[in-house]
Structure formats: structure tokens, C-alpha cells
Amino acid sequence: MILAAMNDEFSHRFENAQPQEVLQLLNDSFGMPDDVERHKN
């Protein structure tokens, strides 16, 4: 399970984040700029 592999701080932030904040956390974690996402489409 992915959440079990996360550290407590990240999972705590993730649980309490709004959807846009979740996307921002994921972008920060995986280092994927918005333009990389746009190029995929």
C-alpha cells in the first residue's frame, strides 16, 4: 500500500490537503513541471 510507504509527515499533509494541494505535493515530490504534463497530452 502506497500510504504505508510514505513517511508520517507526508501522509499527514496528504490526508489533510485539498485536491489542488495534493496535486502540488505530487508535482513537488516527482519533480514534474506543468509543461511536462502538457507535452504528454
User: What's the farthest any 2 CA atoms get from each other in the chain?
Assistant: 33
pLDDT top residue among 30 and 24: 24
pLDDT over 90 for what percent of the chain?
0
pLDDT over 70 for what percent of the chain?
54
Residue 25 has pLDDT above 70, yes or no: yes
13-to-35, 40, 41 alpha-carbon distances in Å: 25, 28, 29
> pTM of the prediction?
0.32
Cell (9 digits) for 22:
495534493
Confidence (pLDDT) at 28: 81
What's the CA gap between 26 and 17, in Å, rounded? 11
For range 2-20, the mean pLDDT: 70
Beta carbons within 10 angstroms of residue 11's beta carbon: 14
Confidence (pLDDT) at 18: 77
Each domain of the chain, given as residue ranges in start order, spans 2-40
What's the CA gap between 23 and 29, in Å, rounded? 10
